[in-house]
Amino acid sequence: MKKIELEIVALSHSITQTHSYAVVLGELNGLRRLPIVIGGFEAQAIAVALEHMQPSRPLTHDLMKNFMNAFAVELQEVIISDLQEGIFYSKLVCYTDNDTVEIDSRTSDALALAVRFGCPIYTYEHILENAGILMEDNGAKKGKSESVGAEESASDREDLSGLGIEELQVLLNEVLEQEDYIRAIAIRDEINKRK
């Protein structure tokens, strides 16, 4: 089967499931999007790596990368290989000097590792056909899948817009102390927008 390369285009709260997040993968050089609902810890792990943040202690996925590096195991690629009853299945394609091995993984963990290793993310046509959203050139979506929020909610933006720059800086320090990296990104973006 031909592999289709994807990239992470958005990470946000899921509007379809409470206490969950959505990572939206976009077809490289294409208009299709693949929304995947993930847990909060995995969302934070992805956000930390995407934003090149340095947490005060290594997260689980940082530990996995360090462990793999210590034993000369490279993550070559991540493949979102199957979709069954709404659940995505993924494989980590790892290699050493002597061997190449495919390891089953939750998709959220595979994506968190892919960001850390800077390796490509792939899927297959049938998965994009069944779970993807086609974006038209103007950014509107059309397709079979249900919508997943790809940006912060309006109430989140209003909460931040009412604060002064000093208050935003204090809030940023507080959420970083609590290791809420997704909220920290939104606050940092609001600060940068005002500069």
Looking at residue 147, its pLDDT comes to 34
> pLDDT by residue (tens digit) across 40-72?
889 999 999 998 888 888 899 999 999 999 999
The CATH number linked to 118 is 3.10.690.10
Mean pLDDT of the residues in the chain: 84
Last residue of a domain, one of 104, 121, 142: 142
In a domain, 79, yes or no: yes
Residues 6 or more apart whose Cβ sits within 8 Å of residue 152: 12, 13, 186
21 occurs within a structural domain = yes
pLDDT of residue 14 exceeding 70, the answer is: no
Residue 17: per-residue pLDDT: 66
* 137 and 161 assigned to the same domain: no
Query: How does pLDDT run across 83-101, given as a tens digit for each residue?
Result: 998 899 999 999 999 999 9
* Domain carrying residue 26: 3-142
Other beta carbons within 10 angstroms of residue 151's beta carbon come to 13
Q: CA triplet 140, 144, 148: central angle to 5 degrees?
A: 60
The region, left, alpha or beta by phi > 0 then psi within -120 to 50, assigned to residue 57 is beta
Say what the pLDDT of residue 137 is: 62
CA dist 122 and 140 (Å) reads 24
Name the domain count of the chain.
2
CB 27 within 8 A of CB 33: yes
For the question of whether the overall pTM of this predicted structure is more than 0.75, the answer is no
